[in-house]
């Protein structure tokens, strides 16, 4: 043992067990001094983050019954389905507002078109159709000259566990062109 900070000691390791925990005592044999005491928990599965330290992947909840209904009843074209699926990329966590993936700010049609590398006019046409079919809400922000913001219908998909503001969901319950076969209910995130 070449390292002077490392010393050799003989220790006694004591263990008191309960059904799922163990109290460990480490005692120096020569002096009887307790060097350390701690609880060790026994689990069948590991707790905490995985060994690689990675995050859990983000997920979307796509409500299958409602999604199939949209495809069947709303008669979406492949282009409209493509636009709707592309817009999913911008859904905020626990809010269906479409936001910029880096700045986290609400997106306008022009900004979405730029991020999707497409023409604004073509995208706007598809978004208007999705709005008329009740799959996308257009949020007016001010008068003329101010950009619109967008919310995907929360009865079709959602990203997260609880909704930040239940009013985002309520806008798709009343006066919406899409009446889902399964009405989704959300719990509001506490402490917004």
Q: In the predicted model, is pLDDT for residue 2 greater than 50?
A: yes
Q: What DSSP line would sit under 141-187, residue for residue?
A: -SSTTSPPEEEE-TTTEE-SSSBS-HHHHHTTTSS-S---SS----P
Q: Looking at residue 54, what is its pLDDT?
A: 52
What pTM did the predictor assign? 0.67
Q: What average pLDDT does this structure show over 106-131? A: 94
Q: Looking at residue 46, what is its pLDDT?
A: 55
Q: Looking at residue 56, what is its pLDDT?
A: 67
Q: Looking at residue 68, what is its pLDDT?
A: 93
Q: Looking at residue 33, what is its pLDDT?
A: 87
Q: In the predicted model, is pLDDT for residue 148 greater than 60?
A: yes
Q: What DSSP line would sit under 30-54, residue for residue?
A: TT--EEEEEEEE--SS--SS-TT-P
Q: Looking at residue 113, what is its pLDDT?
A: 96
- Reported as a single tens digit per residue, the pLDDT across 26-82 is 888 888 888 888 888 776 665 544 445 456 667 888 999 999 999 889 888 999 999
Split at pLDDT 50, 70, 90, the class of 132 is very high
- Reported as a single tens digit per residue, the pLDDT across 133-143 is 999 998 887 77
């Amino acid at each position: 043992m070449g390292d002077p900070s490392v010393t050799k000691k003989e220790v006694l390791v004591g263990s008191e067990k309960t059904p799922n925990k163990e109290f460990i005592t480490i005692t120096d044999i020569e002096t009887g001094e307790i060097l350390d005491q701690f609880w060790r928990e026994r689990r069948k599965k590991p707790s905490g983050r995985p060994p690689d330290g990675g995050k859990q992947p983000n997920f979307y909840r796509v409500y299958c019954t409602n999604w199939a209904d949209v495809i069947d009843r709303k008669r979406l074209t492949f282009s409209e389905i493509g636009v709707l699926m592309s817009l999913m990329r911008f859904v905020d966590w626990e809010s269906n507002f479409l936001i910029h993936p880096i700045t986290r700010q609400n997106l306008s049609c022009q900004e979405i078109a730029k991020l999707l590398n497409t023409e604004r006019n073509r995208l706007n046409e598809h978004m208007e159709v999705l709005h008329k079919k009740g799959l996308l809400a257009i949020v007016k922000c001010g008068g003329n000259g101010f950009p619109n913001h967008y919310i995907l219908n929360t009865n079709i998909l959602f990203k997260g566990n609880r909704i930040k503001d239940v009013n985002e969901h309520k806008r798709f319950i009343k006066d919406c062109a899409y009446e889902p076969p399964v009405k989704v209910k959300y719990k509001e995130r506490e402490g917004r």
